[in-house]
Amino acid sequence: MALKTGAEYIESLRSMKTRVYMFGEQIENWVDHPMIRPSINCVAMTYELANDPQYEDLMTAESHLTGHKINRFAHIHQSTEDLKKKVKMQRLLGQKTASCFQRCVGMDAINAEYSTTYEIDQKYGTDYHGNLKRFLEYIQENDLVVDGAMTDPKGNRGKAPHEQEDKDLYLRIKERREDGIVVRGAKCHQTGSVNSHWHIVMPTISMGPDDKDYAVSFACPSDADGMFMIYGRQSCDTRKLEEGADMDLGNKKFGGQEALVVFDDVFIPNEYIFMCGEYDFAGMLVERFAGYHRQSYGGCKVGVGDVVIGAAALAAEYNGCEKASAVKDKLIEMTHLNETLYSCGIACSSEGHPTASGGYMIDLLLANVCKQNVTRFPYEIVRLAEDIAGGIMVTMPSQKDFRSDLPVGRNGETIGDFCNKFFVGNGICSTEDRMRVMRFLENICLGAAAVGYRTESMHGAGSPQAQRIMIARQGNIQGKKQLAKDIAGIE
């Protein structure tokens, strides 16, 4: 089957029976819902660019399973060049959408599963790797979106999964059957869950023998019987529901999404199971997925950062202060921080290596360094953008005020007249355009888009301490001590 277009992807969602709830009600037509559609547009861009000859090299790859041209988001990395193209692709999409395009989690999940299932099979004689390869051929040939689902609600973080008072706080195997398993639980903060055709579920932490029922990984369609999603709120999200709020939206076309995904006794056939009780491999799968996903942030967040820098420079120009040395220096610092993140993403890709399965793994130490920087630098980039924009970014009236014809002045001036008069910039742009760039920055720095840029930079792919733990493990302090001993002459 040929690569889907963005329009074909959107139409494919309409045929699904995915259950979506928001504000306490079921959303029947969630594809066209004004709060959800921007996130669907983001995913559609991953299809549109794959069909654009200008971006074909980054957006597509040759499947090592079928030899066919496929979307890179469904590809198993076969070289360090593949790993670098992944990061470059993510930066491109961040530049095109200024938001989270939601397919990275699934791409990172299939790559982590590929090497892990191979090694499980080598130890236990299972056929999980065969299951995964057959599933991959299906999603590649049909050009489908797969969401990676790892984060459990966790409940009491001080207790292991089997120790929780409510056993469902980590997704678990409730029943084992001859033809499959029944699972129960939930995955939370799931990026792109509503917009995906399939989900790959993974454990969220390392596990011991008593947690066997929680060491489970599988694929299931997003509209599986017993599965549903409760849509997550974002800051300023209801602006999308307001009539005549075009200017107030900031990024009106694109956006991200997260949801709570509930598995209420969902049956999973054997052919879609990739781990079923092999608790000793749970940690490996988590570590590899986290590594891939931390690499991803050296691409996607950099692309969005490019747009933030551009918007801040535009705001400075519209404010009439683009020539001020302090403003120039802030833009330089923003660029320096952004390119540092990118260099980390490229570095961990360049230092990648093949696994036993043949799929390529990034350098885990450098991937964790990349994400550790991502937990810091976007916050500074946003701070500098807010500094350049000025307080007007969060105090301006609404679009309705700017366009109001209600007379309020002594000489018959309207509300709109006063808004356009007193919020004028340096005269090279309309007052409305100045307000649009301010709302755009507000949206990325503080609003709905901040979920996919600022806050996700902190918690996505693990919070800062998770990376520090991995850096401590992989930093080889003993080896560095020996280097010092050798040079200092200490035996």
* 373-387 tens-digit pLDDT: 999 999 999 999 999
Report, as residue numbers or ranges, the catalytic residues: 100, 104, 191, 258, 293, 297, 300, 456
Judge if 253 and 347 occupy the same domain. no
Judge if 336 and 200 occupy the same domain. no
Contact in structure between 362 and 295 (CB atoms under 8 Å): yes
Q: What DSSP element (H or E) covers 258? A: strand 258-269
End position of a domain, from candidates 222, 252, 285: 285
Judge if 278 and 313 occupy the same domain. no
Judge if 199 and 331 occupy the same domain. no
pTM score over 0.75: yes
Residue 1 has a pLDDT of 67
In a domain, 352, yes or no: yes
Q: What CATH code is carried by the domain that includes residue 265?
A: 2.40.110.10
Judge if 271 and 389 occupy the same domain. no
Number of independent structural domains in the chain: 2
In a domain, 105, yes or no: yes
Residue 449 has a pLDDT of 75
**Burial class of 14 by CB neighbour count within 10 A (0 to 12, 13 to 18, 19+):** exposed
In a domain, 491, yes or no: no
In a domain, 48, yes or no: yes
- Binding-site residue ranges for FAD: 191
Judge if 314 and 424 occupy the same domain. yes
Neighbouring residues of 374: CB distance < 8 A, sequence distance ≥ 6: 294, 297, 298, 301, 341, 457
Query: Residue 129 sits in which domain range?
Result: 8-285
Q: Which three-class secondary structure state does DSSP give residue 399?
A: helix
Neighbouring residues of 67: CB distance < 8 A, sequence distance ≥ 6: none
Q: What is the mean pLDDT of each run of 10 residues along the chain (491 residues)?
A: 92 98 97 97 98 97 97 98 98 97 97 98 98 98 97 96 97 98 97 97 97 98 98 92 90 94 98 98 98 97 97 97 97 98 98 98 98 97 97 94 96 96 91 94 86 87 92 95 97 91
Question: Per-residue pLDDT tens for 424-469?
Answer: 988 889 999 999 999 999 999 988 777 789 888 999 888 899 999 9
Q: What DSSP element (H or E) covers 391? A: none
End position of a domain, from candidates 285, 311, 344: 285
> Torsion angle, CA of 35/38/40/41, rounded to 10 degrees?
160
Place of tokens 């029976």: 17
